[in-house]
């Protein structure tokens, strides 16, 4: 996403609405009918109708972010690894949508600034804290905690299951079961009484990741399988 060569231009949501509406139509009317089977969606009422927010998902398959984007009642802004822009054919999707490109192997300050601008404009972003696809939860990266604490925006945890093997036009895969998406209770990070440090951001990130883990089957919880270690010291839940 480019707001100008300096990266200092404000984010204007209206500039992207038409193209995103078209993409959403294609997702819902084509992809969800012939490429991906949506079996169940739970808790979508937890997604805010207005205002800023951070949708935080686990990442099993390539299609996960697109499925969540297609299900939401309003257009939001995903963060996408810069490599995704170069995929054959489907690489045009993040360009059209206006995703925020992220360089994963470094602290991408430009991506952080762009994400904060979206939140400051009262809009919502989508990110996968693991940074890459895994069959079970891996250690989340601290960016979600930094953005959540810095912006004060509510975080909506989303658990994704059943996406491996999609997209496909194989009827046999459709008979094996579909995708289940669970939206959890929104929360916000408490105001800090201490300096924002890496150990503190680590704790905040892990507490957020456990919110996803609790919505996943035990075999998919990975690094966050021991729910007895889950704490809630840095977060507060929203109604």
Asked if residue 147 is part of any domain, the answer here is yes
Position 106 scores a pLDDT of 76
DSSP letter for each residue of 115-150: HHHHHHTT-EEEE-TTSS--SS--PPPTHHHHHHHH
Q: pLDDT tens-digit profile of 32-72?
A: 999 999 999 999 999 999 999 999 999 999 899 999 999 99
- Judged by average pLDDT, the poorest of 26-35, 50-59, 84-93, 104-113 is 84-93
Cα–Cα dist 122/75, whole Å: 12
β-pair partners for 77: 125
Asked if residue 113 is part of any domain, the answer here is yes
Asked if residue 62 is part of any domain, the answer here is yes
CA dihedral 192, 195, 196, 202 (to 10 degrees): -90
Asked if residue 145 is part of any domain, the answer here is yes
Count of the separate structural domains present in the chain: 1
Asked if residue 2 is part of any domain, the answer here is no
- Domain of residue 114 covers 14-237
Cα–Cα dist 24/157, whole Å: 21
**Which residue, 184, 172, 177, is CA-closest to 162?**
177
Position 86 scores a pLDDT of 80
Return the percentage of the chain with pLDDT > 90, whole number. 79
Indicate whether 130 pLDDT > 90: yes
Asked if residue 7 is part of any domain, the answer here is no
Q: pLDDT tens-digit profile of 195-206?
A: 778 999 999 999
Asked if residue 39 is part of any domain, the answer here is yes
**Cβ(47)–Cβ(123) under 8 Å?**
no
CATH number of 118's domain? 3.40.1130
Three-state secondary structure readout of 74-119: CCCEEEEEHHHHHCCCCCHHHHHHCCEEECCCCCCHHHHHHHHHHH
Q: What is the number of other CB atoms lying within 10 angstroms of the CB of residue 126? A: 23
217: Cβ contacts below 8 Å, ≥ 6 apart: 161
Q: Which two tokens stand for residue 177?
A: 């079961």
Record the pTM: 0.93
Indicate whether 133 pLDDT > 60: yes
Q: How far apart are the first and last CA of the chain?
A: 33
Asked if residue 6 is part of any domain, the answer here is no
Q: What average pLDDT does range 68-93 have in this prediction?
A: 89
Indicate whether 125 pLDDT > 70: yes
Position 8 scores a pLDDT of 64
């Amino acid at each position: 996403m480019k707001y100008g060569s300096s990266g200092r231009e404000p984010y204007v949501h209206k500039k992207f609405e038409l193209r995103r509406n078209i993409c959403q139509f294609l997702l819902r009317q084509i992809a969800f009918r012939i490429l991906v089977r949506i079996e169940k969606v739970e808790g979508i009422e937890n997604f805010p109708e207005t205002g800023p927010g951070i949708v935080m998902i686990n990442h099993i398959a390539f299609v996960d972010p697109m499925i969540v984007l297609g299900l939401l009642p309003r257009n939001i802004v995903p963060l996408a690894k810069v490599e995704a822009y170069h995929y054959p054919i489907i690489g045009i999707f993040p360009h059209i949508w206006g995703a925020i490109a992220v360089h994963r192997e470094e602290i991408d300050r430009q991506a952080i600034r762009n994400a904060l601008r979206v939140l400051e404009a009262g809009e919502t972003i989508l990110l996968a804290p693991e940074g890459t696809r895994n069959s079970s939860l891996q250690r989340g990266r601290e960016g979600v905690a930094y953005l959540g604490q810095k912006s004060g925006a509510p975080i909506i945890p989303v658990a994704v299951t059943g996406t491996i093997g999609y997209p496909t036009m194989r009827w046999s895969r459709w008979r094996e079961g579909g995708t289940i998406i669970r939206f959890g209770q929104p929360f916000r990070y408490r105001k800090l009484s201490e300096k924002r440090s890496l150990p503190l951001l680590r704790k905040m990130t892990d507490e957020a990741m456990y919110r996803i883990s609790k919505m996943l089957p035990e075999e998919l919880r990975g690094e966050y399988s021991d729910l007895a270690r889950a704490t809630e010291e840095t977060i507060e839940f929203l109604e």
